[in-house]
Amino acid sequence: MPLTEQYGVTSRRRRGATGDRVGRGLISDVAKTRYVRGMFNAIAPRYDLANTLLSAGFHLTWKRRAVRLLRAPAPGRALDLCCGTGDLALLLARQVGRGGTVVGIDFSEAMLHIGRRRATAAGLHRICQFVLGDAEALPLADGAFDVATVGFGIRNVGRPAAALGELRRVLQPGGRLAVLEFGRPSNAALRAVYDAYSFAVVPRVGRALTGHQDAYLYLPTSIRHWPDQDQFADALRRAGFANVRYVNLLTGVAVIHLATRPGDAR
């Protein structure tokens, strides 16, 4: 029995919900991009609150750890792809320092607007730039960055392999990448609790917080249809990255994938 039905989320009306179909990969890449962009524009005002409540604040702890493991140089040049409202970009800005630069790129202007506002409030607006862009065709020069991050965003791209190729292109030789994404828990008991929470609680609470009918049905569905840790590590290698490894968080509820563009740093 599908998990969404097992935990009572998908009534007859909800089985046809767009979020469920997008999460399962049942529409085209172009249609997925259009849907996900519209979804994030719609939920942007309550996105940070929803993330913090639904993850019990863990997403911030995980992002801080990803940035620590990445070890951006100071001063340095950092890219945060699929930056959303700027959590990782602001953490990177503090790491690269006043002589550094952070570029956050996202396809949701509503998310970028919040990121710019947060950077100004934190006094980091001279370090951080937030740019509207396509993860599959970045408006950036080859080898422009020392480090790059993606936080829970690669899964939302229409063609993730194309985005990984772009990340490799814009990193300098020796440049480091950290991809924070959901994974597959290794602990069976935790996995059962996580599935129950994801499909019985997250869609209802997310809908109440944001008013979006199925954004938080898309979320757990897309996670369950995402490659596991080893499969995504293989995808990084196919994209041309070296030194690929990953760090499980909460036995694999989330994962920090680390990789390097081959070659000697300039």
The per-residue pLDDT for range 68-109, each reduced to its tens digit, is 999 999 999 999 999 999 999 999 999 999 999 999 999 999
Residue 97 lies in a domain: yes
Residue 18 lies in a domain: no
Residue 146 lies in a domain: yes
Whole-number Å distance between alpha carbons of 185 and 183: 6
Q: What confidence tier does 266 reach under pLDDT thresholds 50, 70, 90?
A: low
CA 200 vs CA 7, 58, 216, 220: distances in Å: 5, 19, 11, 10
Q: Which ranges in the chain belong to alpha helices (H)? A: 3-6, 18-23, 29-54, 58-70, 87-96, 109-121, 160-170, 188-196, 202-210, 215-224, 229-238
Q: For residue 126, what are its two tokens?
A: 């001279």
Average pLDDT over every residue of 153-175 = 97
Residue 13 lies in a domain: no
pLDDT higher than threshold 90 for residue 173: yes
Q: For residue 158, what are its two tokens?
A: 């229409």
Q: For residue 63, what are its two tokens?
A: 């992002």
Rounded to 5 degrees, what angle do the CA atoms 96, 98, 104 make? 55
CATH assignment at residue 235: 3.40.50.150
Average pLDDT over every residue of 10-34 = 71
Residue 92 lies in a domain: yes
Domain residues for the domain of 233 are: 23-196+227-260
- The pTM score is 0.91
**Residue 238 identity:** R
Residue 16 lies in a domain: no
pLDDT higher than threshold 70 for residue 250: yes
Whole-number Å distance between alpha carbons of 124 and 213: 35
pLDDT higher than threshold 70 for residue 164: yes
Of residues 29 and 258, the one with the higher pLDDT is 258
Average pLDDT over every residue of 114-142 = 98
Number of independent structural domains in the chain: 1
Residue 52 lies in a domain: yes
Residue 220 lies in a domain: no
